[in-house]
Amino acid sequence: MGSSTLLSALQTIESILKPPTATDKSPSRLVWRCAVPTPLRRTFEYLPPEGGHHEIAPGTRVSVPFGRRTLTAIVTAGADGPTYDAAKLREAAAVLDTQPLLTPSLLALLTWTASYYHHPIGEVLPLGLSPSERQGKPEQPTRVEGLQLTLRGEGLPEGAPHNAHKQAALISALRGGPLRVDDLRSQGFTRPVIKALLDKALVAECDLTADASWREQQPPLTANAEQRTAIDAIAETAGTFAVHLLYGVTGSGKTEVYLQSIAACLARGEQALVLLPEIALTPQTLARFEARFDAPVAALHSGMGNAERDRVWADARCGRIAVVMGTRSAVFVPLHRPGLIVVDEEHDAAFVQQDGLRYSARDVAIKRGQLEGCNVILGSATPSLESWQNSERGRYRRHELSHRAGVGTLPKHRLIDVAGLDLAAGLSPELIQQIGATLDGGEQVLIFLNRRGFANALLCYDCGWSSECTNCDARMTLHKSPAGLHCHHCDQRARVPARCPLCQGSRLHGSGVGTQQTEAFLADHFSRYPVIRVDSDTMRHRSAMPELIDRLASGQPMLMIGTQMLSKGHHFPHVTLVAIVDADALLFSPDFRGEERLLQLLTQVSGRAGREEKPGRVIVQTRQPDHPVIRQLHAPYHTLLPDLLAHRAQAGLPPQGALGVIRCDSQSRLEGMEFLKALRGAAGPTRECQIIGPVAAAMARRKNRYRNQLVIAARSRTALASVMTALVAQAEASRHSATLNWSVDIDPYESL
């Protein structure tokens, strides 16, 4: 072959192997836009695997190369190839699903969440997946293998077959209806036992994925006139999007309204989602729902293992679960036929995620109801100002339950001005006398003190030294059980010094009162009665709160001393006296929601008293008896809201305005300030928004990192979104050290 012929052949081969460029006239290839789990606020483009799938629906998982790693991404859309340079795109490694795991409505909800809260979409979309699905593992099977008795098996007498005890036990277990094969195996029924009964035609395999006939197995309680009005109004809007604010005083029977509305939902063959603020409420509520409905009811919360969450996720997606109950992350659980969403205690700050993606599960639930076209019920004895104003403006339909259900009556309030009084562990002489009289009368007492530990801090009475945390701008709390100093912000712990570290003096004393100190005093003063402390130190185990509720149900006289954990909607039927030790704690809070939260907290705690036949009393200790919030605690909650709304309007604060915050933390005191100053400078002037800062956070140093923030106050959400979009884009484009972290907080609940 001559040299010219060889050159020509090489040129031909080169042209074939050369990848196409933007100017090539080669046929276009479909391109996938994928949300990859990275902190970048954008999607990434990939080519389908060579010779593999080319068109897949949004919401499908794919495995993609990202740098040197292979990650599980979610396809958000497809795009035509000519707008991209195919030579610069990488191919996806594999398609992981035969059908999308995210339905169009759930994908739309997650996409909206990422956009509204200005969070990376690749970190938001996985919230719609189970733990194993996020790791790229196969989806849970949609078909569930079951076992049921045949007619021949049903005709066997009890205890048969008599010569095979395991087989007889399995037949006995199946007399109540079909069961999962996996559940039977976990109960000790082995494959040979199951096969033996299959071979004898005493049992048969069945598919448990088919829809069950869901119904109530206990009759509903008789609804009073107010409850019936609410139930009927909710039923009228079934099948459409509507938000119902159920404003009911404590003990007014809001749960019965939920139950009867859910019963109507299940009768239509639809599923219900119930959101609760705390894990501690889940067992009590779950038991009530399971007793009420002949239908699968499942719980979702952070205390569950991944395998258990995977199973609930799959069952909810396929429609096998009738009612899903969970804390805030359950708002993203997939549902096959959503028909109703309930948010109980909608005002509770526990519905707000405070790190990572900062979102309000209540607000996301409302958006989900809109996208799914179903009813949303927001229930509370102390509605948030946002929800109340929406009901005032007609955006939400409000239903009021103004009386307690059954024989319970609202408690009577009494204020004790403790200014100038000698207190024992925070308790006044009159309160101590009232506690004793209640216990001697065979009744139970709840004492509320929202401060755990023994004392706020350890002080030296010689030189003024205090137990400052070395990592935070805060004092370490003195604990007696276990003994030591503990920072509740960074979790640092230290021994209690025998002498002052500064002057070597011996006059070290605790300052302030915590639940441990009051508990010790009560246990000594009322030694004939049990004293139970309820705070995050004693309620660590999942079974702790259910065990406490069972103990209180005995009706024996006893004392509870605890924090806001006691305000979370628990039903304590035998408590007749509630004592609020320090009602002033939130009065002068730097948080603009301080008075609203104080009013909600005290109203909720007060509502634990007098829920059954015996009337209840509430004693409030305060040094500010003339403060409007304290003075009117006995008044109906809603009568105090107009003044709070007027104050917010004067300041342009939510719900009259919109707030957003860009927060940053860094190892350097100045780096965060300089970073935020640059953002503010790039934003330029705006009429619709006021940019405040940068300023230090309420706690400027936490975990040895300096925290700063830029606050954006806007007249409307539209104006806020516009400015925040520009600031976020500038933040992503800016250069800073790898040790600086920044985040976005829309509708912030954390103190400014």
Residue 18 lies in a domain: no
Do 244 and 358 have their domain in common?
Answer: yes
Do 352 and 326 have their domain in common?
Answer: yes
Output the domain CATH number for residue 686: 3.30.70.600
Do 119 and 156 have their domain in common?
Answer: no
How many other C-beta atoms lie within 10 A of the C-beta of residue 516?
25
Instruction: Identify the band that residue 77 occupies on the pLDDT scale cut at 50, 70 and 90.
Output: confident
H or E element in which residue 122 lies: helix 121-124
- Residue 221: is its pLDDT beyond 60? yes
Residue 540 lies in a domain: yes
DSSP classification of residue 475 = B
Q: What is the per-residue pLDDT for 610?
A: 67
How many other C-beta atoms lie within 10 A of the C-beta of residue 448?
28
Could you say which of 165, 187, 207 is where a domain stops? 207
- The owner of tokens 């207190």 is 423
Do 382 and 253 have their domain in common?
Answer: yes
- Residue 23: is its pLDDT beyond 50? no
Output the domain CATH number for residue 332: 3.40.50.300
- Residue 15: is its pLDDT beyond 60? no
Which residues neighbour 103 within 8 Å (Cβ) at sequence distance 6 or greater? Answer: 59, 334
- Residue 658: is its pLDDT beyond 60? yes
For residues 593, 594, 595 and 599, what is the CA-based torsion angle, rounded to 10 degrees? 100
Q: For 465, list phi and psi in degrees, rounded to 5.
A: -60, 145
Output the domain CATH number for residue 65: 3.40.1440.60
What tokens were used for 587?
A: 């009065």
CA 687 to chain centre: 36
Q: Is 597 within 8 Å of 349 (Cβ atoms)? A: yes
- Residue 6: is its pLDDT beyond 50? no
Q: What is the per-residue pLDDT for 641?
A: 93
Cα separation of 414 and 94, whole Å?
68
Q: What is the per-residue pLDDT for 13?
A: 32
H or E element in which residue 630 lies: helix 628-631
Do 149 and 197 have their domain in common?
Answer: yes
Checking DSSP bridges between strand 477-480 and strand 457-460, what pairing results, if any? unpaired
Burial category of 353 from C-beta neighbours within 10 Å (exposed 0-12, middle 13-18, buried 19 and up): middle
Give the count of alpha carbons within 13 A of 113, CB side only. 32
Cα separation of 81 and 84, whole Å?
6
Could you say which of 105, 134, 163 is where a domain stops? 134
- Residue 185: is its pLDDT beyond 70? yes
Mean pLDDT of the chain: 87
Q: Is 664 within 8 Å of 741 (Cβ atoms)? A: yes
Residue 652 lies in a domain: no
What amino acid is encoded at 507 in this protein? R
DSSP classification of residue 447 = E
Total structural domains in the chain?
A: 5
Residue 8 lies in a domain: no
Which residues neighbour 393 within 8 Å (Cβ) at sequence distance 6 or greater? Answer: none
Nearest to 654 by CA among 340, 278, 360, 299: 360
Do 88 and 38 have their domain in common?
Answer: yes
Q: What is the per-residue pLDDT for 87?
A: 72
Nearest to 562 by CA among 578, 541, 576, 543: 578
Q: Is 709 within 8 Å of 676 (Cβ atoms)? A: yes
Could you say which of 374, 401, 428 is where a domain stops? 401
Residue 99 lies in a domain: yes
Which has more pLDDT, 12 or 511?
Answer: 511
Cα separation of 537 and 268, whole Å?
44
Which residues neighbour 631 within 8 Å (Cβ) at sequence distance 6 or greater? Answer: 415, 625
Do 271 and 393 have their domain in common?
Answer: yes
Residue 6 lies in a domain: no
pLDDT digits (tens, 9 = 90+) for 310-323: 999 999 998 889 99
Do 219 and 350 have their domain in common?
Answer: yes
Do 186 and 227 have their domain in common?
Answer: no
Q: What is the per-residue pLDDT for 84?
A: 65
pLDDT digits (tens, 9 = 90+) for 546-569: 777 778 778 899 998 988 777 766
Residue 498 lies in a domain: no
Q: Is 337 within 8 Å of 269 (Cβ atoms)? A: yes
Instruction: Identify the band that residue 21 occupies on the pLDDT scale cut at 50, 70 and 90.
Output: very low
Q: Please name the residue ranges forming H helices in 480-528.
A: 515-525
Q: Residue 546 is part of which domain span?
A: 412-455+512-645
Dihedral sign for Cα atoms in the order 468, 474, 475, 480: negative
Q: What is the per-residue pLDDT for 141?
A: 67
What tokens were used for 426?
A: 């925070």
pLDDT digits (tens, 9 = 90+) for 501-524: 999 999 999 888 888 999 899 999
Q: What is the per-residue pLDDT for 143?
A: 64
Secondary structure of residue 474 in the 3-state scheme: coil
Q: What is the per-residue pLDDT for 298?
A: 92
Q: Is 587 within 8 Å of 624 (Cβ atoms)? A: yes
Do 637 and 662 have their domain in common?
Answer: no
Instruction: Identify the band that residue 3 occupies on the pLDDT scale cut at 50, 70 and 90.
Output: very low
DSSP symbols for 373-442: T-EEEEEESS--HHHHHHHHTTSSEEEEE-S-STT--PPEEEEEE-TT---BTTB-HHHHHHHHHHHHTT
- Residue 24: is its pLDDT beyond 50? no
Cα separation of 369 and 243, whole Å?
8
